[in-house]
Amino acid sequence: MEKIGRNDPCWCGSGKKYKKCHEAFDEKLARMERLGCLVPGRELIKTPEQIQGIRESAKINIAVLDYVAAHIGPGVTTEEINRWVHEETVSRGGIPAPLDYQGFPKSVCTSVNEVVCHGIPSEDEVLKEGDIINVDVSTIYQGYFSDSSRMFCIGEVSPEKKRLVEVTRECMMQGLANVKPWQPIGNMGHAVHAHAVKNGYTVVQEIGGHGVGLEFHEDPWVSYVSEPDTGMLMVPGMMFTIEPMVNMGGDEIYTDEEDGWTVRTEDALPSAQWEIQILVTENGAEIISY
């Protein structure tokens, strides 16, 4: 990190003098690092200007998910959801981040029942009463990224599936409640896992959350099967997703060999996922996209 004079403008672009802005923060970070903590680099600390841009991106992401919520139901195909997401994003000036991301062919991920994540929308996939589906929307707006997903129950679903969907949401909220500045991120993932296990479920280990904002996927990689006191410190200005994948049966998963994307549970039992994008603050966390 380059040396900044105490009276120079702060690196965060606030316009304040460094000594009145991030000097104490940088000193604390350096102290924690000397104590052996894994600390985020400055590129992971969002500036006020970046946070504003990401909030604007998230407004679109939230509006698109609201649109899906208002129109989804039995008889809708996942390809229709893809069209909605594409059109609602573009009409608001955004770009759907999944489209062409590492070759992903559509503008949204739609994951039905035993599909864990990264399901590809299809004209042949018709939603029917009793299905549960995750719709994962990600938006680029003026270079800023937002990412969140919700579950939808199609018509009347079984009590078992409904409970999975509800508990998975609670897992995510447990994660949110355990975002505490200057604490290791493993504490957050541990709380998510504990809530799932308490309810008789398992949590996918191989796929997790991620830093987000200036890129689709930034550091840190975020596990929801983690031990307390492990992983990177959560520091004010960091942004990441809380997006646990919770399985009704075992935690084993596999990726479809034909399409290279669709992830399913090995035992074909249902899986659920909710995702929020959060900003670490001085007091805890603020939800940026949901």
* Chain positions contacting ligand MF3, by CB under 6 A: 98, 101-102, 104, 109, 118, 136, 138, 147, 210, 241, 243, 275
Q: Which residue's entry shows tokens 């955004």?
A: 94
Site for Co ion in 226-255 (CB under 5 A): 241
The listed partner (ligand MF3, Co ion, none) that binds 118, CB under 5 to 8 Å by sort, is ligand MF3
Choosing from 88, 114, 125, 147, the residue that interacts with Co ion (CB under 5 A) is 147
The listed partner (Co ion, ligand MF3, none) that binds 125, CB under 5 to 8 Å by sort, is none
Q: Is 20 left (phi over 0), alpha (psi -120 to 50) or beta?
A: alpha
134 near Co ion (CB under 5 A): no
Distance (Å, whole) CA 159 – CA 240: 32
Name which of 127 and 222 has its Cβ closer to Co ion: 222
Q: What angle do CA 282, 174, 223 make, to 5 degrees?
A: 85
- The answer to whether 175 and 242 are in contact (CB under 8 A) is yes
The listed partner (Co ion, ligand MF3, none) that binds 84, CB under 5 to 8 Å by sort, is none
Say how many C-beta atoms besides its own lie within 10 A of residue 70's C-beta.
9
Name which of 148 and 202 has its Cβ closer to ligand MF3: 148
Least Å distance, CB 98 to ligand MF3, is 3
HSE, side-chain direction, 13 A CA sphere, residue 126: 5
Contacts with Co ion, residue ranges (CB under 5 A): 147, 241
